[in-house]
Amino acid sequence: MKFFKTYISGKLMLSALISLGLLSSCEKDGNPNNLPDVNPADYEGKIDGYTSSDEIFPRNLVAYWSFDDTKNEVKSNTAPTQTANDSFVDGGVRGKAISLNSGYLYYATQINAFKSDSLKSFTLSQWVKITNNGSKRTMIFQIARPGIFNGSLDFRLNTQSFPATTTNTLRMNPRFTTVGGGSQDNLNSTLSPTIGADKWTHLVLKYETTTGVFNMWADGVNVGSFNNRGVGNNLFKSYEPGEIIIGGNYNTIPGKTIGTDATFANMVGQIDEIRVYNRALPDAHIRALYNLGKANK
């Protein structure tokens, strides 16, 4: 009987020691999957894990305007057909920027990246220096349709809504034409970025064709109020032929006027780093583009 008690006691103690040993082993081994060590030096100088905006989904970047002493769309080397009141200026988000003094850039050449079968989902990112004007709308980027007032995609700013002294509110009202020939839009009815003649503001449109969600971002924040635009006949379509207008629309370009609509004026302000991706970027990468741009990267 004494032996049995001793055996039981010893067995319990052994089990306890094994348990403690296992616990001790778990505490000592903080890398059970044998992952490689992280070297903090590898992340020095990086923002959100990147050293440059160029590292954000480079394979999905299908159109890019750097405005570093060139007005050409960099990926296709497409030159503008017609420009007005435009000049390169120092102090861009990265390098130089384009300044428009009631000006525009017009590209009549069809860029392959904007053909119907090439552009389904998209992210359009650009930096602007803009002010309200109290009288006219501003079109900062348009995938235009020859002979038609509304484009496949219109990035409209309601700069007519407030006077130039209002810098804490910018109403954005982007729209697109659907596969059914209709129209869908968005509006930042509650949230807004701060703007100003001397402030770079980051504006982004993001569209996912599988869900019909059309988001609008400003300075790293999703500010859109009407993001769910539907599928089926409500899906976005990039019609052909397509042209690109930066800073205006057909009714602000001499000789291209369509109808009598006079709600737009050519842009007064600056634009830099226009990037178009053929996918809806994850939210973290939109914020990364904003943070990298603030650091001139």
Domain ranges of the chain: 61-294
Average pLDDT of the residues of the chain: 90
Q: Angle CA(64)–CA(61)–CA(90) in degrees, nearest 5? A: 30
Q: State the DSSP H helix or E strand holding residue 87, giving kind and residue range, or none if neither.
A: strand 82-89
Strands 201-208 and 213-218, bridge-based pairing? antiparallel
Q: How confident is the model at residue 216 (pLDDT cuts 50, 70, 90)?
A: very high
CB 70 within 8 A of CB 105: no
pLDDT at 12 over 60: no
Q: Tell me the pTM.
A: 0.86
Q: How confident is the model at residue 224 (pLDDT cuts 50, 70, 90)?
A: very high
SS3 54: helix
End-to-end CA distance of the chain: 80
Tokens 């405005």 sit on residue: 67
Instruction: Name the E strands within 114-147.
Output: 122-130, 138-145
| pLDDT recorded at residue 37 | 56
| pLDDT recorded at residue 45 | 74
CB 194 within 8 A of CB 223: no
Q: Angle CA(111)–CA(261)–CA(257) in degrees, nearest 5? A: 50
pLDDT in tens, 141-194: 999 999 999 999 999 999 999 999 999 999 999 999 999 999 999 999 999 999
CATH hierarchy code of domain 61-294 = 2.60.120.200
Arithmetic mean of pLDDT, 43-71: 94
Q: In 234-247, which positions are buried (b, 16+ CB within 10 angstroms) versus exposed (e)? A: bbbbbbeebbbbbb
